[in-house]
A = this chain, B = another copy of it.
């Protein structure tokens, strides 16, 4: 489970431990992303932060997300459309609603197929995407 960084100190430590300078923009981005369950896009994060951080640039958001990814503090999701970012780096899967676009975390299925040898291909990680309708959109 990923948690929100309560204090700047805590967030700053995370960045420094990863060998990244703890700039105010990075702190803001890290704190905004961590604990966010909605899998925001870079643009969404930017808009959310720009209000309280007028000088922030989109480029910085992209840069920071790339840095955080390198450092295993988040993970990009390619589900079609702009990349989304998941602060939960523990292995898990995703359910995507085909109507409203909601992306929900799914516990890694126990039935998760063993990364079998695919005749020559050495599997590093398996990714599962469940596509369908969320409760709301299924209208249950």
List residues of chain A with CB under 8 Å of any chain B CB. Answer: 76, 78-80, 83, 95, 97-98, 104, 106, 109, 111-116, 118-135, 138, 140
| Cβ-defined contact, B128 with A126, below 8 A | yes
A126–B124 CA distance with the chains assembled, in angstroms: 19
Residues of chain B contacted by A111 (CB below 8 angstroms): 111, 113-114
Residues in chain B near residue A98, CB distance under 8 A: 124
The complex is assembled from copies of this chain, and their number is: 2
Query: A125 and B132: CB pair below 8 A?
Result: yes
Determine the chain B residues whose CB is within 8 A of the CB of A78 once the complex forms. 78-80
| Bound: A103/B115 CA distance, A | 16
Q: List 28 A-B contacts (CB under 8 A).
A: A78-B78, A78-B80, A95-B118, A95-B123, A97-B121, A106-B118, A109-B116, A111-B111, A111-B113, A115-B132, A118-B130, A120-B134, A120-B135, A120-B138, A121-B130, A121-B133, A122-B133, A123-B132, A124-B133, A125-B132, A126-B128, A126-B129, A126-B130, A126-B131, A127-B128, A127-B131, A128-B129, A129-B129
Q: A109-B116, A112-B113, A120-B138 are in contact. List 14 more A-B contacts (CB 8 A).
A: A95-B118, A95-B123, A104-B118, A104-B121, A109-B113, A118-B130, A119-B135, A120-B135, A121-B135, A122-B138, A124-B133, A126-B129, A127-B130, A128-B128
